[in-house]
Chain A
């Protein structure tokens, strides 16, 4: 075939597809509507960030009268098979086992008493729980099944959030209880150097959310302990030409010290920045992705296929329990959830029409407009769950269900379930 012939045939082929588009004013209006929506949408991203980075913004928690709680147990519910891969369960039985486990009360550190509630899970896998002690709040970081914990007692009217912890050290934010999640969150940072150690003030003044003004508010998230320092990312909630991402850090071995910040670069507020392992990946206003190693801030190579995969993402985050990135295409509640493996560049679709998903091994739990679903990627089978959970169910080992936010009740403290006590294979229903 001659070049001219190919050109002519392709031209005719493409020309047949040409159709008038909407009026340009509609395109501009769509951009305007989305910008407005994103201001709220970033709150959704904030939820993902809370899960990914476990920034526990202090919730408003009303003190609850003690109620008799069932004996705490991490043991599987009686209907749960002891072998995770037990075959022969119907899909109804699989769903019942999961629902029973999600409704079971977890074991919290004994120091928290009987009315504790789960606050979150740190990237290191440690859990965070709180309880009232008189008119003060006690917050602890602990390992599931291990009683030793790092804990801090707040002053009256204050609440604590665990920002980061490693094997020996915990960093807490202590501040006044915010009236709601649009309030500025101001307080102090304290460090606990080991189980039972008294907390010491690291920074006297600190904020997690800088102001109530949506146009200028900045957030601090992605807290991490590394090289003897606490590090975090500081970013604006609203996109704009001056949107810059900053890295803050403070040495942990000092007391009543000051933090330093440095600008990492401008960010495109329309596509979320992401942290995968030690890589920070940000979408610049020029439309390009840039990667930097958070350890030494040296430029890094983008994982294979990153730009092509993530450019269309409407939300993104790092799921629990896996070294992959879950991202969403399309708008809530009809998003499609995809999983991307930066190590290989491979992708796979996890679920459609979802608000939220979490994945671990072969299972995906998805929150859809119709409720919660459990999907077995190995068999392709799906079963609905009866749980009415409002917060994300985080698959991993352990599986974590956070209580309602911001007012957990004693009867809904969230739960922690040993992965191996749950059935993992869903048969054909």
Chain B
């Protein structure tokens, strides 16, 4: 992969990937660090990286794994609001979604993020997570139901 192609890919996808990894790990700084690190590793093996069919999935997977390691290192499983991006509108809704995502089991959270945020079809989610399609459908179903319940509870709390 030559420099121009790498730089273009980085410029186009860095921000989006940070958002996706943020949804997975719940900490913006960690997400940004891990995506940067994944791009560094991609450049280190650019000859191989150029041949990867899905470069974005590779970056996301490596960054996701790094975020798990960072979490283990720093105990960065964040509480409500910690590491959360609080800029922009709809802060209350994002706080609620942030808290709800943290309560999902990791596999359900990853499946939900990849399917509903990254917009991957079930087969692609299954491939990225190394699971069967049926299993992913179960995770998605349960994850969505749990998120709905948590967010509705939160809305009811606010209404009261």
Contact = CB atoms under 8 A, between A and B. Distances in A.
A386 B53 CA distance: 55
Nearest to B22: A17
A308 interface: yes
A13 B23 contact: yes
A18 B93 contact: no
Interface in B124-158: 144, 147-148, 151-152
Interface string B20-51: 10110000100110011001110111011000
B7 A24 contact: yes
B18 A28 contact: no
B159 interface: no
B60 interface: no
B45 A7 contact: no
B73 A329 contact: yes
B72 A17 contact: no
B79 interface: no
A144 B75 CA distance: 41
Contacts of A229: none
B39 A27 contact: yes
A138 to B, nearest CB: 45
Contacts of B7: 24-25
Interface string A1-43: 1010011011111111111111011011011001100000000
Closest CB pairs A-B (n = 4): A312-B69, A14-B19, A17-B22, A24-B7
Interface range, B side: 35 or more
A376 interface: no
B6, B15, B20: most-surrounded residue (chain A CB, <10 A): B15
Contacts, number: 129
Given A7-B119, A15-B19, 17 more contacts: A6-B144, A10-B116, A13-B94, A14-B117, A16-B85, A16-B88, A16-B94, A17-B18, A17-B22, A17-B28, A18-B16, A18-B18, A20-B14, A20-B15, A21-B39, A27-B10, A338-B73
Contacts of B87: 16
Contact of A13 (B14, B69, B73, B98): B98
B68 interface: yes
A342 interface: no
A27 B47 contact: no
A189 interface: no
Contact of A17 (B44, B85, B148): B85
A10 B68 CA distance: 20
B47 A241 contact: yes
Given A24-B6, A31-B43, A285 B48 contact: yes
B54 to A, nearest CB: 12
29 contacts: A1-B148, A7-B117, A7-B119, A10-B23, A11-B117, A13-B94, A13-B98, A13-B101, A14-B22, A14-B23, A17-B18, A17-B28, A18-B15, A18-B19, A19-B18, A20-B15, A21-B10, A21-B36, A24-B7, A24-B11, A27-B40, A27-B43, A28-B6, A287-B62, A312-B66, A312-B69, A312-B70, A330-B73, A349-B73
Interface of A: 1, 3, 6-7, 9-22, 24-25, 27-28, 30-31, 34-35, 241, 268, 270, 285-287, 307-309, 311-313, 329-330, 336, 338, 347, 349, 352
B123 interface: no
Given A16-B85, A241-B47, A10 B144 contact: no
A129 B47 CA distance: 47
A330 B39 CA distance: 17
Contacts of B102: none
B32 A3 contact: no
B85 A311 contact: no
A35 B48 CA distance: 16
A319 to B, nearest CB: 18
B44 A35 contact: yes
B113 interface: yes
Given A1-B147, A311-B62, A329-B73, A10 B113 contact: yes
Contacts of B20: 14
Contacts of B43: 27-28, 31
Contact of A1 (B3, B19, B70, B151): B151
B117 A21 contact: no
Contacts of A309: 69
